Amino acid sequence: MTDDDLKVYILNFQASEMPGYSDDHISLEAMERFHLYLRDSYDIAAYWNYIPLLYMVKTTISARELAERFRPFLGSRFLVGRIDKQDVDGQLPAEAWEWIYYPHQEKSKLAGGMLPRLSP
């Protein structure tokens, strides 16, 4: 897999729709399960979370496929959209911009604090 094979998607979700949400609080167990999926899934080459409830992921699968995989973790209100690395702008920490342009080929070679893939 090359970086040209990977697409960058942005994910935003409504916390109150997550399984386990109650009393205006996100379930830490639900977030941990979601992070484990992102970390361990062979579908996800890399991800970051520099803004609360907003993630970016690098993957070879489509937005529709990502949405299907995220639904059990995030509930009924979320958005997955593809990011064009050549036409993106905003106010983010330098590490976030480095992550966007970093050539993630394998989870074991991630930068910016991303977690390595566990052995199957």
Q: Give pLDDT, residue 3.
A: 58
Per the domain annotation, does 120 fall within a domain?
A: no
- Structural domains counted in the chain: 1
CATH, residue 88: 3.30.70
Q: What is 17-60 written as a DSSP string?
A: GSTT-BTTB--HHHHHHHHHHHHH-TTEEEEEEEETTEEEEEES
Give the pLDDT confidence of 70-114 residue by residue, as tens digits.
999 888 889 999 999 899 999 988 998 998 988 886 664 343 333
Per the domain annotation, does 114 fall within a domain?
A: no
Residue bearing the bigger pLDDT, 20 or 67: 67
Per the domain annotation, does 64 fall within a domain?
A: yes
Per the domain annotation, does 93 fall within a domain?
A: yes
Q: Which residues pair with 11 in a beta bridge?
A: 55, 80
- Over its C-alpha atoms, the chain yields an Rg (Å, rounded) of 14
Per the domain annotation, does 47 fall within a domain?
A: yes
Q: Give pLDDT, residue 107.
A: 62
Q: Give pLDDT, residue 31.
A: 81
Order across the sheet with 54-59: list the strands. Answer: 44-51, 54-59, 7-13, 78-83
Per the domain annotation, does 119 fall within a domain?
A: no
Averaged pLDDT score across all residues of the chain: 81
Per the domain annotation, does 65 fall within a domain?
A: yes
What is the domain range of residue 81?
3-109
pTM: 0.79
Per the domain annotation, does 115 fall within a domain?
A: no
**How far from the centroid of its chain's Cα atoms is residue 86's Cα?**
19
